[in-house]
């Protein structure tokens, strides 16, 4: 058996929490120390309120992001930032994607 046959394919390390393009893009937007409010995320990700709210809830349940509620003036606001676990999971997901592309001989990411 070849050396590559003895190790699991990198796809086994893909994180299903990033299967949604909105969840993937959301975590990509939240680097270390970055906190964005809901409106900014909606604009960056170019999506509606409902899909963004669902993505935040999903990633919050996975403990990849924290949503903080408050108000600015008399308007309620939600701010979101990534957790260390979320950043680590995202980095692992990206590494698995890079390895999948490398196996296929495609362009490097």
- Per-residue model confidence (pLDDT) at position 71: 84
Within a domain: residue 33? yes
CATH of the domain at 67: 1.10.10.10
Residue 109 resides in a domain: no
Question: Is residue 99 included in any domain, yes or no?
Answer: no
Number of domains in the chain: 1
Domain assignment of residue 24, yes or no: yes
What's the mean pLDDT when you consider all of the chain?
Answer: 92
Provide the pLDDT for residue 3: 55
In a domain, 23, yes or no: yes
Contact criterion met (CB below 8 Å) for 109 and 98: yes
Residues 53-62, mean pLDDT to the nearest whole number = 98
Query: Domain for residue 6, yes or no?
Result: no
How remote is the C-alpha of 67 from its chain's centroid? 14
Domain membership flag for residue 60? yes
C-alpha to C-alpha distance for 54 and 66, rounded to whole angstroms? 13
**Domain contains 97:** no
**Three-class secondary structure of residue 75 per DSSP:** strand
Residue range of the domain that includes 84? 19-88
């Amino acid at each position: 058996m070849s050396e590559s046959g003895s190790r699991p394919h990198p796809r086994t390390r893909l994180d299903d929490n990033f299967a949604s393009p909105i969840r993937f893009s959301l975590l990509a937007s939240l680097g270390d120390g970055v906190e964005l409010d809901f409106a900014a995320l909606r604009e960056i990700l170019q999506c509606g309120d409902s899909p963004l709210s669902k993505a935040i809830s999903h990633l919050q349940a996975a403990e990849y992001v924290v949503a903080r509620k408050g108000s600015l003036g008399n308007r309620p606001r939600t701010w979101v930032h990534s957790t260390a676990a979320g950043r680590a999971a995202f980095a692992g997901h990206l590494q698995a994607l890079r390895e999948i592309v490398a196996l296929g001989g495609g362009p490097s990411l």
